Chains A and B, each alone.
Chain A
Amino acid sequence: GENVEQHPSTLSVQEGDSAVIKCTYSDSASNYFPWYKQELGKRPQLIIDIRSNVGEKKDQRIAVTLNKTAKHFSLHITETQPEDSAVYFCAALIPGTYKYIFGTGTRLKVLA
């Protein structure tokens, strides 16, 4: 069935360093990939998304890249800050359906 794998499950970086989270998906026809940030005890919130007709999208310190051939997409956070500490989820829209499937999450810790 449809599947989204996310790695790593935990990631610790020093403040100011970059963080990269990678997701792979099983259905090559998937064409919409959002990323969510969830702070402790709160709801997931969209931080960036990408569609299959572009290879990269940036929003200030956050960027997402998409490699359709390899069926993976990655979240890049540069110049990390303590407030970036949270759990990050990738997701994919299953083609031909209205279903969004999520990865299992990455807990990012930014060490001051």
Chain B
Amino acid sequence: DAGITQSPRHKVTETGTPVTLRCHQTENHRYMYWYRQDPGHGLRLIHYSYGVKDTDKGEVSDGYSVSRSKTEDFLLTLESATSSQTSVYFCAISESLESPLHFGNGTRLTVT
């Protein structure tokens, strides 16, 4: 299995608070992704990175920001969490274009 660690694995937070989720990889892969998974919606892309300090928006980027200061770390920040951001968040990595995504174990976030 690809070396991907997501932290925390579970988090409960209150509406309006900032939250940062971390994805750490040991594979030295160039591409990193954040997806959210909700019933009936499958996996939706939030943001992705194609190199250090190179990021771009996905389908559902409103309310989220990301940073990648090192190859191995990709951070997802909810500036002011809302109940609609309650979800399971998956980080994924990819070695190159047209190569498979490898997913982390996910972070279950609950916003009360």
Contact = CB atoms under 8 A, between A and B. Distances in A.
B42 A105 contact: yes
B103 interface: yes
A25 to B, nearest CB: 14
Contacts of A103: 42
Interface string A85-106: 0000101010000111111110
A84 to B, nearest CB: 19
B65 to A, nearest CB: 18
- At the interface, is chain A mostly helix, strand, loop or mixed? strand
> Contact residue range for chain B?
20 to 34
A99 B59 CA distance: 10
A32 B98 contact: yes
Interface in A36-66: 36, 42-46, 49, 51
Nearest to B43: A102
B30 to A, nearest CB: 9
B82 interface: no
Contacts of A89: 42-43
Nearest to A1: B59
A44 B103 contact: yes
Interface of B: 31, 33, 35, 40-45, 48, 50, 56, 58-59, 90, 94, 97-98, 100-106
